[in-house]
Structures are given as C-alpha cells and as structure tokens.
C-alpha cells in the first residue's frame, strides 16, 4: 500500500484547512475514512468526485482488481493541485475496507458476492462507529439481501450495515457528479448515507428498506426496455407509412405515447440532435447493460411471482440486435437500426 505524497504547497493548504475545520468543529467528525472498490466506467468517476469533494483531513482507499485502473486514478488525483481528501492505493478489497465507509461499484451479482466474501473473511476489527457498506452496483435484490445478511452475521450487534444504492445517469452523470441514487436502507441510516452519495450525485431517493433501491431501479429499467423497443417500432412504422420522422416525433411528444425514448433518446438518427442515434448510436446506455438489467428484472419478477408478459420477447429483441456487428457496443436505441434493417 502506498500513501501518495502531496505537493508542498498543497500540504500547507490542507493543514490550514484542517486546523480551521477543527477550530470550528463542535462535535466529533464521522465518516472520515472511505474505501472505493470497483473503478470501472462509473466507479472511476464517482471515486474521483468523492475524493475531490471531501475535506483534506479525510481519506479514501482505492481498489480494483484491474491495477491499471487504480494507478490511473491515483495519478489523476495526485495531479490535482488543491483540495480533496488524502488517498491510498490498496492491495485488496479487504485491505481497502479497514475504515468506516466502504462503497462498491461492481458489474454483476457474482462480483459483489466475491468482493464481500473477501472483505468479511478478513475479520474486520471493531470501529468506534458501526461500519457502513454502500453497494452502488446494479444487481438483483435477492443477491443484495444475501450479502446484507452475510454482513449482519459477520458484524453482529449492529456493528455493520450493508445498503443498496444503485444509480441512474450513466457515465455522463458519474463524470459530472449529477447521478440519482435509489437507496434501499433503514430509515435510521439515511441521514448518515446521504451526504456521501451527494458528493457523487445530485439526488438520493430513499425507496424503502435494504433491497428496495434495486427493486425500484429494476422496475424503472424494465419499463425503459419496453418503451425503447415500442418507440423504435412506432417510429419505424410511421417512416414506412411515409411520415417524416421529425413530424411523427413531434406528434408523439405532445400526445399519449410520449416517453423518454421518444422525447430525449429518440432512436431515429436526426430526430433529436443530442441523442446517441444522431452520432451513430455511440455513447449513451450500452445495449449489453440494458440486456443485463432486463435479465435481473426478469429474475426478480420470477421470485416475486409477478407476470412480465413482454419480457421474453424484449429480451430476444435485445439479444438478436446485439448479435449484429452494426449494433454491438452501441446505445440501446440501436434496436431501431436492427428493426428497420438500415
């Protein structure tokens, strides 16, 4: 593990700030030490914002199984001239998780389970305040509850809590620090969690107890998956009937068919200049992530015995579209290209 050296002028500046803060502090500081695990497309930007917005007396430990990602982020943080917390590069998830608050942002349920297995195996020492684990990954609520139960049994008597805080806003929102978090946590923890999330986003929606954030996120993304296909179909239909796609979109957007895919992320190139469709479907919300979220929603629906009449067909549509080279790796609105054959 290596503690990064600060530039001399930065160190003096930080010391002054720390002294000033201590002088004005009326109660002991909490949540000073963080770990951020999973520095991919989202986590990298979130950790960068968190570190930049924390006080100089705070500390962030960084870990990703991809050493290159950790080193790149540490170098970027080091190059910042002023402000921000101190930071350390950790050698393992367990090593990073020594302190009070651990944030994870990992791809799929198996990655979340394996990271927490290794953290909990390390037999975490007692801390002055209960440990808090905030998982921002999009996984299924059952897997999340499993991990929460493992944390509760490894850290009994309220010594640790695991909460879910999946997010929306994509890489653009993660970079700008404007994410929306859907929080699943006991009411009593919300005030402790919110300030941390608001350093990486602009909104925290408390959805209910642990697991509820993921349920809300998956229900929303299920709706989005269907609306996107339906918009692509309706637009394709209109174009085949000879309608100008901009005229059709204007009609839909003041009528009952209006939705985010018709208004903001219209799948037909040229209809909305800022939409991924107008730049060859580059950027945006990747079709692979949409498939993943749809799969998780279907799994969670099965467990709740909820009928999703359109899910199998939608899943097939995304699978077939993604299998085509001209659609792979692009924004999920690329289903229009697949449908229209263009």
Q: Which residues are catalytic?
A: 217
Among 171, 230, 288, 310, binds ligand NAD (CB under 6 A): 171
Phi, psi of 197 (to 5 degrees): -65, -35
167 counts as binding ligand NAD under rule CB under 6 A: yes
Residue nearest to ligand NAD (CB): 40
Q: Give the x-and-dash track for 200-239 against ligand NAD (CB under 6 A).
A: ----------------------------------------
Burial pattern 155-187, b for ≥16 Cβ within 10 A else e, equals beeeebbbbbbbbbbbbebbbebebbbbbbbee
Do strands 131-135 and 167-168 pair parallel, antiparallel, or not at all (unpaired)? unpaired
Instruction: Give the position of tokens 């020492």.
Output: 125
Contact of 181 with 49, CB cutoff 8 Å: no
User: Shortest approach of ligand NAD to residue 292 CB, angstroms?
Assistant: 6
283 counts as binding ligand NAD under rule CB under 6 A: no
Q: Which of 230, 223, 209, 232 is nearest to 297 (CA)?
A: 223
CB atoms near residue 284 (< 10 Å): 21
Is 160 or 286 the residue whose CB approaches ligand NAD more closely? 286
Is 47 or 311 the residue whose CB approaches ligand NAD more closely? 47
35 counts as binding ligand NAD under rule CB under 6 A: no
Is 33 or 168 the residue whose CB approaches ligand NAD more closely? 168
For residue 114, give every residue at least 6 positions away whose Cβ sits within 8 Å of its Cβ, in sequence order, or none: none
- In angstroms, the CA 68 to CA 142 distance is 32
User: Shortest approach of ligand NAD to residue 2 CB, angstroms?
Assistant: 18
User: Shortest approach of ligand NAD to residue 38 CB, angstroms?
Assistant: 4
Q: Mark the segment that binds ligand NAD (CB under 6 A) among 57-65, 190-198, 271-279, 324-332.
A: 57-65
Cα torsion 116, 46, 292, 257: sign: positive
- In angstroms, the CA 126 to CA 139 distance is 28
137 counts as binding ligand NAD under rule CB under 6 A: yes
Is 252 or 296 the residue whose CB approaches ligand NAD more closely? 296
Q: Give the x-and-dash track for 99-128 against ligand NAD (CB under 6 A).
A: ------xxx---x--xx-------------
Applying CB under 6 A, the residues found at the interface with ligand NAD are 37-43, 63-66, 69, 93, 105-107, 111, 114-115, 137-138, 167-168, 170-171, 285, 289
């Amino acid at each position: 593990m290596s503690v990064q050296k600060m530039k001399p002028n930065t160190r003096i500046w930080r010391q002054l700030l720390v002294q000033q803060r201590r002088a004005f502090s009326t109660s002991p500081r909490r949540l000073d030490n963080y770990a951020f695990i999973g520095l991919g497309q989202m986590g990298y930007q979130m950790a960068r914002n968190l570190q930049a917005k924390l006080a100089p007396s705070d500390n962030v430990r960084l870990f990703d199984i991809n050493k290159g990602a950790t080193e790149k982020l540490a170098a970027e943080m080091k190059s910042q001239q002023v402000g921000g917390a101190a930071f350390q590069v950790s050698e393992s998830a367990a090593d990073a998780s020594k302190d009070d608050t651990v944030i994870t942002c990992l791809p799929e349920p198996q990655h979340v389970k394996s990271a927490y297995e290794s953290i909990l195996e390390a037999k975490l020492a007692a801390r002055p305040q209960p440990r808090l684990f905030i998982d921002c990954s999009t996984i299924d609520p059952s897997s999340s509850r499993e991990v929460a139960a493992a944390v509760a049994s490894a850290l009994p008597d309220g010594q640790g809590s695991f909460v879910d805080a999946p997010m929306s806003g994509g890489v653009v929102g993660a970079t700008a620090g404007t994410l929306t978090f859907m929080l699943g946590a006991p009411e009593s923890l919300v005030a402790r969690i919110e300030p941390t999330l608001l350093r990486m986003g602009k909104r925290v929606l408390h959805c209910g107890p642990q697991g509820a954030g993921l349920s809300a996120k998956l229900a929303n993304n299920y709706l989005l998956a269907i609306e996107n296909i339906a918009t692509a179909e309706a637009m394709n239909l209109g174009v085949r009937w000879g309608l100008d796609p901009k005229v059709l979109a204007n009609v839909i957007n003041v009528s009952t068919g209006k939705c985010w895919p018709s208004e903001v992320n219209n799948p037909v190139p040229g209809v909305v200049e800022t939409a991924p469709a107008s730049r060859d479907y580059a950027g945006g919300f990747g079709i692979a992530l949409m498939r993943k979220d749809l799969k998780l929603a279907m799994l969670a629906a099965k467990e709740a015995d909820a009928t999703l009449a359109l899910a199998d067909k939608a899943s097939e549509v995304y699978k077939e579209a993604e299998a085509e080279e001209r659609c792979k790796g692009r924004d999920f609105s690329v289903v229009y290209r697949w449908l229209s054959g263009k």
